[in-house]
Amino acid sequence: MVSIKKPHNKKIWLLILLATVVILIFSSIVVAEPRYYEKNMEKQNFNSYADVSIVSHLKNNSLTGNVVKNPGIIYTRILNNMTVRLSMDITAEDKQPVTVICSITAVSPAPSWSKTFESNTTELLLSGSYVVNSGVVPLNLSNIYNKSNSIDKQLGYTDPSTPVININITIENTEYNLCSFTGLSIHTGNGYYKISYETPAYMSNNIEYKVVSGNKPIINFSLTYGYIIELAGIAVIIASIYMLVAPAKNNVLKKLIEDNKDRIVIIKEPVPVMAHDIRSFDELLKLSDIYQEPIFYIENTSIFFIYHGDNNYMYVEGDDN
């Protein structure tokens, strides 16, 4: 069985080549252009730390020494003085409103009541750092106990319990609705103070921001698609050039038809499916002479054949081996 081979249409391949060149120029611009990248990042724009501690100065003793920081128990008979210290470090960006509240509150278990005797509020519009190193919180325990006894007497209690003294530090950031708290509590026992400490207060806030690099391309097209189109375009250009520069058969066909026009009949009908394959046009000419049969040429193809009885002999130009 011999298949029909139609000649290449150079105009079509030339149009394909020109169109592909245009597409290739487009994809090259896409690939070569500076790309615009956006990436979401996180950064910390607020951070705070606060801690409340006690430094006790004691009389000479062999149990604890003269100076004790953050003691759990302080024996009143060897106590010279007790200092409450505050450490604080706040960092903020973009002028954030920050409030720092320091308070001293007495809480009585029996009768049950609480009262804030000292409160100090600091309002900040902070852009940068606010640092307090070893600040002193004024504390007069005798004065607070006296005021507490007065309240108990007004309530009708002649033998009340000793209140717990709470020293608290609160940091608020209303911009991001943040709040942190720390402090300590002083419990009074028989001849001693028992101190309990809150964990130091840490607080932070992160915000998202975009990191932008490069410039927005003139042609906003996917870089991946640009590479795919470029590779496909190169392949089509190679194929188009090959088809355009490949040896043309038209001139050969025209010469064969012109030289043998007295015996060649041009037809438009397709060739019969079954035929003997002839390897050269010269052999087909010999058969034409032997059988005294015309040579049929199928228009717009490279196929020549001869009918002789029940046999068909076919030659395809360009298939010479």
202: left (phi over 0), alpha (psi -120 to 50) or beta: beta
Residue 101 and residue 175 in one domain = yes
Instruction: Give the gyration radius of the chain's Cα atoms.
Output: 51
Average pLDDT over every residue of 5-28: 69
Residue 49 and residue 130 in one domain = yes
> Residue 115 above 90 pLDDT?
yes
Residue 128 and residue 88 in one domain = yes
Query: Taking all residues of the chain, what is their mean pLDDT, rounded to a whole number?
Result: 83
Residue 152 and residue 125 in one domain = yes
Last residue in a domain, options 211, 232, 264: 211
How far is the C-alpha of 73 from the C-alpha of 83, rounded, in Å? 14
How far is the C-alpha of 10 from the C-alpha of 248, rounded, in Å? 10
Residue 127 and residue 272 in one domain = no
Average pLDDT over every residue of 166-176: 93
Judging by beta carbons within 10 Å of its beta carbon (0-12, 13-18, 19+), is residue 22 exposed, middle or buried? exposed
Query: What long-range pairs does 304-309 form, CB within 8 A, spacing at least 24?
Result: 304/256, 304/264, 305/271, 305/272, 305/275
Average pLDDT over every residue of 223-249: 67
Residue 219 and residue 86 in one domain = no
Residue 26 and residue 79 in one domain = no
Residue 254 and residue 227 in one domain = no
Domain count, the chain: 3
How far CA 83 is from CA of 54, 58, 136, 168, in Å, comes to: 6, 12, 7, 15
Residue 181 and residue 279 in one domain = no
Looking up tokens 């120029």 gives 25
> Residue 309 above 90 pLDDT?
no
Last residue in a domain, options 211, 236, 259: 211
Q: How confident is the model at residue 185 (pLDDT cuts 50, 70, 90)?
A: very high
Report yes or no on 5 lying in a domain.
no
Per cent of the chain over pLDDT 70 is 82
**Minimum mean pLDDT among 65-69, 150-154, 159-163: which range?**
159-163
**Minimum mean pLDDT among 154-158, 177-181, 315-319: which range?**
315-319
Report yes or no on 176 lying in a domain.
yes
Reference 118, options 180, 166, 171, 160; nearest CA is 166
Judging by beta carbons within 10 Å of its beta carbon (0-12, 13-18, 19+), is residue 200 exposed, middle or buried? middle
Residues paired with residue 75 on neighbouring β-strands, in sequence order: 192
For residue 234, the enclosing domain spans 10-36+214-245
Residues present in the chain in total: 321
* Token pair in block for residue 235: 């392949």
How far is the C-alpha of 145 from the C-alpha of 54, rounded, in Å? 19
Average pLDDT over every residue of 90-111: 92
Residue 71 and residue 142 in one domain = yes
At residue 41, what is the residue type? M
Q: Are 238 and 24 in contact (CB under 8 A)?
A: no
Q: Are 212 and 36 in contact (CB under 8 A)?
A: yes
